[in-house]
Amino acid sequence: MNVKFDMLLDWISERQRGGFELLKQTLGWLGGNAGPPENWTSAMTSLQALGHIEIDWRRRRWEVAPSAITTLPTAGKHALLTGARPRWLVRRLSNLCNDSELGAFQGCLEILPPVKRKDAPALHLIRFHREEDIEKIANILRINFAPMAGDVLLSVLPRLSSIMRLSPCADLPGGPLPRPMGVSLDKVDPFVEVADLRREERNSFRCDFYRQQRFFFRYDDTRVFESGRAEIIYFELARRRNDILSWNAENRELVVPYACRLPALYERATVLRSGLLPSRNTDAKTWTYHNIDAKFARSLARRLYQNLIVV
């Protein structure tokens, strides 16, 4: 994916909010006016998972998330800078050892060199000695401090059914032929075109409208719900009693098939445990989430109506 993520995050942090068309124009300009990348929505999904932006896919709007420092579990007293990265904050952090406003807290934090990445903005890690120092320094810098943000976010997230119930519909929308979810999870997109749409066999659908896709779950003859793609997929997996969430105890990794990347809020909680996007294994056709312990994995599985597979 030819996206200059650091420059994109700089622009987003200064612009703060906008629509998709403006964003696509900016991506085209950053790419040398060759137009936005074909899979530009993947770039936005990555920024959302890392906690840099909030996205309203229905309204085709985005907004930068507040700047924050969050600690990472089992990471040897390392914290992560997430959210917006306005230039004033980046400059101040790079010269933190000479910041006179810190007073007695000078030298309590070490800003490590950014770790460059191809699939996301550079990773900004902070080494600390005491957690209470981070909070006080964050207050001086006027940014948020969120200890163990991934764990806290997961703890307040409801089970998937509560999110599904937020958007009830009278029925599937008219117009384009809905594509039901197939049985294969090997591909990134499991929604397939079929001739027979018998209700008793088909419950999850994708409808292709101009410029966007919408996803629906038919609970019964009277109740239909609209939600995000991943939410619909996991609700369909729960209906079929198909358990796909596996956890590797030795490597502390959570693994899912291509088609089953985690729903947005649950994915953000999972990604913020390491600051790393899920790794893509093209041979196994899976996504792998890192630094996941047993307690977190089981809690996540319960919320998604999955029986965790331990390997």
Q: What pLDDT digit, counting tens, does each position of 50-76 carry?
A: 999 999 988 889 999 999 999 999 888
Residues 127 and 252 in one domain: no
**What domain count does the chain have?**
3
Residues 94 and 32 in one domain: no
Owning domain of residue 78: 68-147
pLDDT in tens, 79-135: 999 999 999 999 998 888 888 888 878 788 888 999 999 889 999 999 998 888 899
Average pLDDT over residues 241-268: 95
Boundary of a domain, candidates 103, 130, 147:
147
Residues 93 and 138 in one domain: yes
Q: Percentage of residues in the chain with pLDDT exceeding 90? A: 63
Q: What is the mean pLDDT of the chain?
A: 89
Residues 281 and 142 in one domain: no
Residues 96 and 189 in one domain: no
Residues 137 and 181 in one domain: no
Residues 87 and 153 in one domain: no
Please tell me which residue, 285 or 1, carries the higher pLDDT value: 285
Residues 308 and 164 in one domain: yes
pLDDT at 198: 55
Residues 121 and 166 in one domain: no
21: CATH: 1.10.10
CA angle 122, 127, 132 (to 5 degrees): 125
pLDDT in tens, 9-39: 999 999 999 999 998 888 888 877 666 666 7
Residues 48 and 168 in one domain: no
Confidence of residue 303 (pLDDT cuts 50, 70, 90): very high
pLDDT at 240: 92
Boundary of a domain, candidates 129, 147, 165:
147
Confidence of residue 200 (pLDDT cuts 50, 70, 90): very low
Residues 25 and 125 in one domain: no
Cβ atoms 204, 197 nearer than 8 A: no
Q: How far apart, in whole angstroms, are the C-alpha atoms of residue 304 and residue 283?
A: 26
Residues 136 and 243 in one domain: no
